[in-house]
Chains A and B, each alone.
Chain A
């Protein structure tokens, strides 16, 4: 779990408390710990390349401003994802979000030699494009499960749904994405 990364590493809750007590270093540590995962989730969920930074910045800003509303039964990361997901949804509503993903040069992974890696990367690109055709909840549930490794309870908490519904969304997403696999 991201909240406990080792004996010397403070938990997310401890960092959050330290930030509330005035430690900017604690806030910086939380950003370092979760920024990459949040950005990957946002990108996979449909944020444009130029939009990811803005959304991530806004998500952290809202998180630090609203730490009192973080109920500790969900992890900081899944709570952060819920903020990011809502921001992305608002972005779609305003018409700023991109619904259709395109694979651009800088999105394509640096290809390493092994053929299996190449195949995996190509499949990932295909999946990323396929994700754009899924309904929002299916797309986000799939990403939180497959990309981020969250369990259904955390996914349900992040997306404001039930574990049963999250499981169903995941099942439908996988079914659709399997059609893209030759």
Chain B
């Protein structure tokens, strides 16, 4: 006879579904820990014992609700759409979390090859040719429409000037 065996049987004895055998009863008398547990289990059975419930009234309210409240059952198609929407939301969140979208790119820009070491040997006409070639290269390689300052209105001009002052 062990305390564990007695412990396992206590709830059943407390509710009258089982009885102590003579050996178990003897153990209970001799073991103070088991006696205390027996008191706890017996008291646990009495917790909220006197709480009364009007079962018929409760059933009436529940049935009325069952009759009147619409069943929140989702159609399979709705579930599928909700799943799709959730997946789209996740994709959007992930794309936002990866930082700002890169600017659109045009054709790959040609490398700007300038041999600076050779510039010192040029006269003014040669330098002018080189500068002109820069303009040409810029025009050919630029993928953005760079508006001239003349296209800006006064507010935009102020904004641009402000950015230069910073």
Interface majority SS (helix, strand, loop, mixed), chain A: helix
Q: What's the nearest-Cβ distance from chain B to residue A70, in Å? A: 16
Judging by beta carbons under 8 Å apart, are A28 and B44 in contact?
A: no
Q: Flag whether B66 is at the interface (Cβ < 8 A).
A: yes
Bound: A146/B91 CA distance, A:
51
A residues less than 8 Å from B58 (CB atoms): 31, 35, 53, 56-57, 60
Question: Within residues 1 to 53 of chain B, which ones have a CB less than 8 A from any CB in chain A?
Answer: 7, 10-12, 14-15, 17, 33, 36-37, 39-53
With A31-B59, A61-B65, A64-B62 as contacts: A39 and B40 at CB distance below 8 Å: no
Q: Give the interface residue-count category, chain A.
A: 35 or more
Interface majority SS (helix, strand, loop, mixed), chain B: helix
Judging by beta carbons under 8 Å apart, are B41 and A174 in contact?
A: yes
Q: Flag whether A181 is at the interface (Cβ < 8 A).
A: yes
Bound: A124/B44 CA distance, A:
6
Q: Flag whether A135 is at the interface (Cβ < 8 A).
A: no
Q: Flag whether B55 is at the interface (Cβ < 8 A).
A: yes
B residues less than 8 Å from A108 (CB atoms): 50
The contact string, 1 if C-beta is below 8 Å from chain B, for chain A 161-182, is: 0000000000000100110110
Q: Flag whether B71 is at the interface (Cβ < 8 A).
A: yes
The contact string, 1 if C-beta is below 8 Å from chain B, for chain A 26-55, is: 011001100110011101100000001100
List 13 additional A-B contacts (Cβ < 8 Å) besides A52-B53, A109-B46.
Answer: A27-B66, A35-B55, A36-B51, A36-B52, A39-B51, A107-B48, A120-B46, A124-B49, A146-B10, A146-B11, A146-B45, A174-B40, A178-B36
Tell me the B residues contacting A by CB distance below 8 Å: 7, 10-12, 14-15, 17, 33, 36-37, 39-53, 55-56, 58-63, 65-66, 71
